[in-house]
Amino acid sequence: MQQTSDGEPRNSTDRIRVLTVDDHPMLREGIAAVVQPRADMVLVGEAEDGAQAVDAFRQLRPDVTLMDLQMPNLNGVDAIIKIRAEFPTARIIVLTTYAGDVLALRALRAGAVGYLLKGTLRKELLDAIRTVHAGRKHIPVEVAQQIALHAGEDSLTEREISVLNLVSTGHANKEIARVLSISEDTVKGHLKSIFSKLDVGDRTQAVTLAAKRGIIDL
């Protein structure tokens, strides 16, 4: 964890105290470049993974936390759950690359109150921080649309997700059957169900769509 300081101006107690959590230094630097010049905000700290995020939150008690979802040691969703268990009023905005409905729902159910696509940071970051700090939620229109679009669909089972994860790493049906201790026919049945639920025609399309929606991580 890195603690930052900009000299603590006279009105620092009136500023929105922001904690950034992301394992990419350039992303953290980019956020700092946007946040630090603002008169109503101050970047109080940075963390590189979910475990550091929990410790940083305990120490710094930020007003708003910007949390990446895909990180080593402890992912963003689990970090949100831990923080919210100790600090139920924590205001956390998740940062992610995709507008995936499954990933968004997972984060929101964990306790996030904002969702921000990394590609829109310069455009939406400041508004998102101010909105969440004011006690409201910030959900991009495209994310809300994806959630609504798939709301009535059957979700993949844990076993189907396990099969799809193995498919994404290049495993053939025979190898998947061995790893999961099931028959090849069972693997084929799972794949048929996956294709039907995702409305795709082959393994590549299934993996691509599942990653985009946040069902699996690549």
pLDDT tens digits, 128-186:
999 999 999 999 888 888 888 777 777 899 999 999 999 999 999 999 999 999 999 99
In a domain, 22, yes or no: yes
pLDDT, tens digit (0-9, with 9 covering 90-100), for 41-50: 999 999 999 9
Query: What is the average pLDDT value for the chain, to the nearest integer?
Result: 89
User: What's the mean pLDDT in 185-205?
Assistant: 95
Q: Helical H runs in the chain?
A: 25-35, 50-60, 76-86, 101-110, 121-133, 141-149, 158-168, 173-180, 184-198, 203-213
* Domain shared by 89 and 67, yes or no: yes
Q: Higher confidence at residue 212 or residue 59?
A: 59
Write down which residue in 106, 126, 149 finishes a domain: 149
Q: Are 32 and 40 in contact (CB under 8 A)?
A: no
* Domain shared by 122 and 205, yes or no: no
Query: Quick one: tokens of 127?
Result: 């508004």
pLDDT of residue 5: 45
User: What's the mean pLDDT in 102-108?
Assistant: 86
Overall domain count for the chain: 2
**What whole-number distance in Å separates Cα of residue 214 and Cα of residue 109?**
14
* Domain shared by 140 and 50, yes or no: yes
pLDDT of residue 1: 61
CATH number at residue 92: 3.40.50.2300
In a domain, 48, yes or no: yes
In a domain, 218, yes or no: no
pLDDT, tens digit (0-9, with 9 covering 90-100), for 115-141: 998 888 888 999 999 999 999 999 988
* Domain shared by 18 and 84, yes or no: yes
Query: Quick one: tokens of 13?
Result: 């107690």
Write down which residue in 124, 149, 174 finishes a domain: 149
pLDDT of 54 strictly over 80? yes
* Domain shared by 96 and 173, yes or no: no
Q: How confident is the model at residue 100 (pLDDT cuts 50, 70, 90)?
A: confident
* Domain shared by 144 and 181, yes or no: no
Residue numbers of the domain that contains 207: 158-213
